[in-house]
Amino acid sequence: MSVPFATDPSVTDSSVTNSKPGVIDLVREEGIDLVIVDYLQRIKTERRLQDRRNEVTYATATISDAIKVAGAAGMLLSQLKRLQDGKKPTIEDLKESGDIECFAENIILGWREFQPGGAEEKYCVLAKAKDGQVILDPIRLD
């Protein structure tokens, strides 16, 4: 099975507005069904906005619009705020933008817990599900 795969560093190397047509063209030309944007907080905006939270909100909206116009599914990866040991993340812990939730149909939060002796356990929860049930009981990932 062959799956089309392409990378486009212009999404983070230039402004988000300039990248929007590139995302649309790449999806349509390469037949891409899923666009993954890693590290949403790294996307630059050409607009000078009030604060970083508003810049991340603007970038999220612009990239989301481009993905929808192109007819693809999207996965936007965002950083979480630093959490105190033992605290499990919530939607409010999405770094620099509570507005990310407004654009998301689903939100999966992942984290690691370090056990005595250095062992690491990984977990996730489905914190938002537009068309389904939220799963807040941690799912252990092996």
Q: Check pLDDT > 80 for residue 27.
A: yes
Q: Check pLDDT > 60 for residue 95.
A: yes
DSSP string, 8-22: -THHHHSBHHHHHHH
Q: Map tokens 């092996």 to a residue.
A: 142
- Residue 44: is it exposed, middle or buried by C-beta count within 10 angstroms (0-12/13-18/19+)? middle
pTM: 0.78
